[in-house]
Amino acid sequence: MKRRWLTPDRRLHLRCSGMSRQLSAALLQFEAFFKDTDVDISAPPQFRGWLYHCPSTMDTEATPLLTFNEGDDIYLRFSAREKQNILTIVAACGLLPFFVTGTFTPALPQIAEELDSTGEMVNLSISLSIFAMSFGSLVGATYSTVYGRKAIYLWTLPIFIVGSIGVTFADGIPSLFAWRFLQSMGSSPVGVVGTGIIGDIFRVEERGRAMSVFFAATLIGPSIAPLAGGYAAQYYSWRAMQGALGVTGIITLYFIWVFLPETSHFSADGGKTELKNTKVLRNFISVNPLRPLWLLRSPPFFMIGIILSVCVIGIFAQIIPLTFTIRERYHIYNEAWVGACLLPTGFGNMAGAIMIGPISDRMVIQWRAKRGGVWYPEDRLRAAILPLLIVIPGSILVLGLASKYLEGTLGLVVTLICLFFNGMGVDMTFGPLSAYLVDVIQSSSAESLAANTAFRAVVLSFSIAITLPLVNSIGLLMTNVLCSALTWISCGLLWIIICRGEQLRAWLDVGYSVAPSGDKRVVN
């Protein structure tokens, strides 16, 4: 047991992996003494009413080792430096899914030629990998509720490593599909579990900024993954890049094992377990991995799934055709340069993530002050209105016009600018909406994000499969017009959530969070 008394400007920090009943009772009596008397102590007043209650034994995996009373003290288990270290680790791990997809896209023509197939057929592997990511996210989020966050990293990264090695040595389309499924499924939980970790350690008014840092760091992947994949395909082989991903997975697994602490905390429904020092469990508890999908019964969750799906469809509807058309349109036949042409999307993602975090937190603080301290979770979503209304659909439309009417250097420059603004707009939408999903259901934050990811992946898998046939049928311009129209419709859905969030949440209660400490109430 570690025990440390802090100065009045900090709080009690107590961690334990096991505690006798006698010591637990003594601490409870100590706390009750200060509750029942007016004695003033040097510890801050927030200390009173807060204690870790540690059972002497653990009967099942569903029994939490540590439980907490309500309040902000749950976010004080880690110092500011520890929180930054944790955020750095999970953000670095969040790069993996983007590299799985981003390094593969520029090499599609080369893969199709080497495996004696077509671009449309190889493109199906991207749809399959996205479907695998949705399944992996559901499984990882569900079991992180029972076994903790760190355990999911330790279980799924080996699957990613095996899948990457299998893709490296794939000798046909069937084996490529099978190994890509494992590779994608193994890499996918790091995103939803990572955002769940952020929800575990950051308060509501800090969460938007932390989410922006997470997304800004992870979205370095879309910036450099296409370039890395294109460079490897041009000067070595697309297989070399997949082998490098396997080696990266081994290194990541080591850092997770050594440096990442467990962050999950006990939820009111008794489902969440905190496992100190990654204690090995003797019995395996089977959990339905599809359970998070029930959250989509809630109208706000379902509508946000539609909005984010439309945003991602807009990106892929531009990137996938470009990998084929940019060669003939702008006479670029080098895979490395084709990958470099996709860099602006990633840079736009990074810029949008950096900008939107403080803005969404400011929205929460300002509107809560206007209501006299009443917390209305939909206030955060106001930060995403402008990107959905102007930035995303405008960039998609201009890119479609440029592809049809502008040629040469000017057309290429306009295309790259549009990719940048589209990436920026998408992340300025993802940041507030992802933070909102954590805000409204803190007890199942990873599961809510996994349900959204799964829904988005199913929609995206179908959309990617029809992207190239649709472009070949009606042209890139009309495809982009269709994507812009869908984006405007999703903006209307977002406005409905903002204006009618109280009624929508009251339609079906899926375990919404209570007001953060210090707030008067939640509008619900």
- The Cβ of residue 293 has, within 10 Å, a number of other Cβ atoms equal to 18
Token look-up 């992207």 returns 467
d(CA 239, CA 170): 9
> Is residue 51 within 8 Å of residue 27, measured between CB atoms?
yes
d(CA 362, CA 360): 5
Beta bridge pairs of residue 2: 15
CATH number for domain 75-268, candidates 2.20.70.10, 1.20.1250.20, 1.10.10.10, 3.20.20.140:
1.20.1250.20
The CATH number that domain 290-509 falls under is 1.20.1250.20
DSSP one-letter string for 159-203:
HHHHHHHHHHT--SHHHHHHHHHHHHHHHTHHHHHHHHHHHHHS-
d(CA 102, CA 227): 9
Q: How far is CA 442 from the centre of its chain?
A: 15
For the chain, which residues make up each domain, given as ranges? 75-268, 290-509
Name the 3-class secondary structure at 311. helix
d(CA 17, CA 276): 6
d(CA 404, CA 329): 10
Beta bridge pairs of residue 15: 2
As a whole number of Å, the CA-based R_g of the chain is 24
The reply to whether 75-268 and 290-509 are identical in fold is: yes
- Single out the residue of 70, 150, 80 nearest to residue 443, CA to CA: 70
> Is residue 311 within 8 Å of residue 490, measured between CB atoms?
yes
What letters, b where the CB count within 10 A reaches 16 and e where it falls short, cover 177-200? bbbbbbbbbbbbbbbbbbbbbbbb
Q: Are strands 13-15 and 2-4 parallel, antiparallel or unpaired?
A: antiparallel
C-alpha distance from residue 499 to each of 253, 279, 382, 492 (Å): 44, 46, 10, 11
Query: How much helix, strand and coil, in percent to the nearest 5, is found in the chain?
Result: 75, 0, 25
pLDDT tens, the chain, 524 aa long: 343 333 333 333 333 333 333 333 433 443 443 343 333 333 333 333 332 333 333 333 333 333 333 445 677 888 888 888 898 899 888 888 888 887 887 787 788 888 887 766 777 787 788 788 888 888 888 888 778 888 899 999 999 999 999 999 988 888 888 999 999 999 988 888 888 888 888 887 787 778 777 877 777 777 788 778 888 888 888 898 999 999 999 999 999 998 988 887 643 334 444 443 334 444 566 777 777 788 888 898 999 999 998 988 888 777 777 766 666 677 776 766 777 777 888 788 888 888 888 888 888 888 888 888 888 888 889 999 999 999 999 999 998 888 888 877 788 888 889 989 998 998 899 888 988 888 888 667 677 878 888 888 788 777 777 777 788 788 888 888 999 999 999 999 999 999 988 888 888 877 676 555 444 444 44
DSSP at 375: B
- The Cβ of residue 419 has, within 10 Å, a number of other Cβ atoms equal to 24
Classify the C-alpha dihedral 271-276-277-283 as positive or negative. negative
Tokens of residue 170, six digits: 């794939």
> Which residues have C-beta within 8 Å of that of residue 259, sequence separation ≥ 6?
85, 89
